[in-house]
Structure 1
Amino acid sequence: MTTATDAPFRVTLLGSGMPSPDPLRFGPATLIEAGSQKILVDAGRGATIRLSQLGIPIGSIDLMLLTHFHSDHVAGLPDIWLTGWLGGKFGGRTRPMRVLGPKGTLHLTHHLEEAFGADIAIRIADEGLPPDGARIDADEFERDGVIHDRDGLRVTCFEVDHGDRVKPAFGYRFDHAGKSAVLSGDTRYCENLVAHADGVDLLVHEVAMTSPASMAIERIRRVMEHHSTPADAARVFARCTPLLAVYNHLVLISDGVNATPSVQELIDATRQEYAGAFVVGEDLMAFCP
């Protein structure tokens, strides 16, 4: 791994949290910078704020990728889209925003355009903003494969297992300048993820943890059954042997009586199964494969 400063290939965690509001961990969103390209994977709560903290204009995002349609992963999409269109140094997009994701992406983006139609019309008439900047150029896919290949960056989508009823759900692999990074998306232990992340330089993986006592509660058990436990993730790490594994989208659950698992408990549980290099991600952490 190289340092994150001025690197040609960088992965930054804009949001490492879960649906519950948390000022320290915003909703799931990850920024990929490869050469001159900026790609955002998911748009959880607060993604625009994290981009602003980094000094990255929201309107400079070249491509938005979606992993699936749970609200905590797409709630910030209108904010990225419309704030990136506004005037000022934080916006300035004059071309349609490109969005690519699983089947259902066209439905989502079409209805967002309808829902914000009044705002768009007012701003075009009142502020003279360019109409093309308010459009969404969306496309979708249904199976594994290369979905973006431009200027030395290749992006491959692959299906993951976020539960029997949570479909579609995908992860992404990024290959650039001889280096590679994989984002697991939301998933249980998944052989397809292992196959696409084998030997990767950087593996960014979701994780969920709760106390044994909390597993007796049906609501919590149902959530846990849709995610990877530390043991599940450690098994993936051991199979894939990344140079570095990073925990992201931390789903640390309390039932209100038993304590929320701590980061140290998460580390300890992982170390029972995996001895390689890994870190627990936090918002604004950056990694260079």
Structure 2
Amino acid sequence: MRKVCFTLVSAFALASTPLLAEHHEGEQGEVTETVDAGRWITLGTRAGPVPSPTRSQPANLLVAGGKNILVDVGDGTAGRLIQVGVPTNQIDALFISHLHWDHTGGLAAILGLRVQTNAENPLVIYGPPGTEEMVAGLLASMVPGNTAGYGVPGAPRPSLSDITEVIELRDRDVIEYAGMSVSVRNNTHYSFAPDSGLADRFESLSFRFDLPGRSIVYTGDTGPSAAVEELARGADLLVAEMMDVDDTIAMVRRNSPNAPEQVLAGISRHLRDHHLLPPDVGQMASNAGVGAVVVTHFAGRERGDPQHLEYLRQIAEHYDGPVVIANDLDEY
């Protein structure tokens, strides 16, 4: 796991060691307290839906308030968790930004492994409208395996109804969890027609985690959004998605050489409206006045390609604070 520090940040430290609330005795015997600023670990940093050989699907781990908290749970999350020393049965809560499968695909494995390893407490799942229906479907899919168990006659079986607690969130909700305040805004990843009824049924959420020691904002998937800028106002750390649309369209052309131009144009419009381009990331960070930016949900060229530095240059045209493009297992 690569631990990353921003040496240019004066307002706070993105530490290379855990920032947990502890008491220490100083040289003169006085007691000092290290305020809980949490640890943010980018478990999976690849934008979906196409899998990557080097990056897992979107997922993050926030260690704060004595809790292990997942923020999105894309495919591969269980494997990434064990790489940072956290078994699935030690996850306390999950925040889901939206219900696209690249952000939820790892949940079925998490739930099944928690049953098999006898997780003591239910997994508390916070998510947008529709989360309860999704989780109920996953639990239903687990019934045959749970019924068969290990094939041992008379062996007890856990009650699947007891392994989760689902709490749905909507725009402007604020909750308290593990000694921090979590604020929610509906972003621009969806743009349903007003008369479709879908705008009332589904939301794509961004989260702000106000810990005792710092504030972290996670955009989830979003396009440019005044609501997210408002949510991120003055935050210490902005964890933002970023999309290279031209590179993504080129990849679609390679994978689907017969794709009609009209289809490609529609994909391009969707990506530009519903995701953040490098200049958008810089503008959002600047408008919100954040202390530092971590780019995740990354779709574009990898390190070593000159285009990678071009992304950072485009962000820096609008934002003069520290910026990094995260890899899987980076820690902030």
TM bracket (short chain): 0.7 to 0.9
Where in structure 2 are the equivalents of 1:79-228 lying within 5 Å?
Answer: 79-87=109-117, 92-123=118-149, 126=152, 128=156, 130-131=158-159, 135-147=163-175, 149-165=176-192, 167-211=202-246, 214=249, 217-218=264-265, 219-228=267-276
Which range is displaced more, 270-279 or 50-59?
270-279
Distance 1:214 1:274, change over 3 A: same
Distance 1:212 1:3 in 2: 33
Distance 1:107 1:132, change over 3 A: closer
**Deviation by residue 1:130-180 (Cα, 9 ceiling, x = unmatched):** 436963221212331213x14422212111110313841001111111311
C-alpha contact (below 8 Å) 2:247/2:300 kept by paired residues: no
C-alpha contact (below 8 Å) 2:78/2:110 kept by paired residues: yes
Q: Give the corresponding residue for 1:239.
A: 287
Q: Give the corresponding residue for 1:11.
A: 40
| Residue 49 (1) aligns with residue 79 (2) | yes
Select which of 256, 267, 272 maps to 2:312.
267
- 1:209, CA displacement in angstroms? 1.1
C-alpha contact (below 8 Å) 1:230/1:269 kept by paired residues: yes
Q: Partner letter of residue 139 of structure 1? A: I
**Deviation by residue 1:59-113 (Cα, 9 ceiling, x = unmatched):** 11111111111110111011111112323xxxx4133222111110111011111
Distance 1:52 1:59 in 2: 11
**Count of equivalent residues:** 276
Distance 1:174 1:17, change over 3 A: same
C-alpha contact (below 8 Å) 1:85/1:134 kept by paired residues: no
Distance 1:213 1:135 in 2: 39
Whose Rg is larger? Answer: 2
Distance 1:179 1:213 in 2: 34
Distance 2:161 2:329 in 1: 27
Distance 1:125 1:213 in 2: 47
Q: Give the corresponding residue for 1:257.
A: none
Distance 1:271 1:235 in 2: 9
Q: Give the corresponding residue for 2:91.
A: 61
Which range is displaced more, 160-169 or 195-204?
160-169
SS in 1 for 2:295: strand
C-alpha contact (below 8 Å) 2:47/2:102 kept by paired residues: yes
Identity of aligned residues (%): 27
Select which of 248, 252, 267 maps to 2:300.
252
| C-alpha RMSD of the superposition | 2.4
SS in 2 for 1:211: helix
Q: Give the corresponding residue for 1:256.
A: none
Point out where structure 2 has 5 or more consecutive residues left out of the alignment: 1-12, 21-37, 193-198, 251-260
Q: Give the corresponding residue for 1:71.
A: 101
Q: Partner letter of residue 210 of structure 1? A: V
**Deviation by residue 1:10-35 (Cα, 9 ceiling, x = unmatched):** 11100010121112111011111112
- 1:5, CA displacement in angstroms? 1.5
Point out where structure 1 has 5 or more consecutive residues left out of the alignment: 254-259
Distance 1:208 1:73 in 2: 16
Q: TM-score normalized by structure 1?
A: 0.88
Distance 1:35 1:164 in 2: 35
Distance 2:208 2:136 in 1: 27
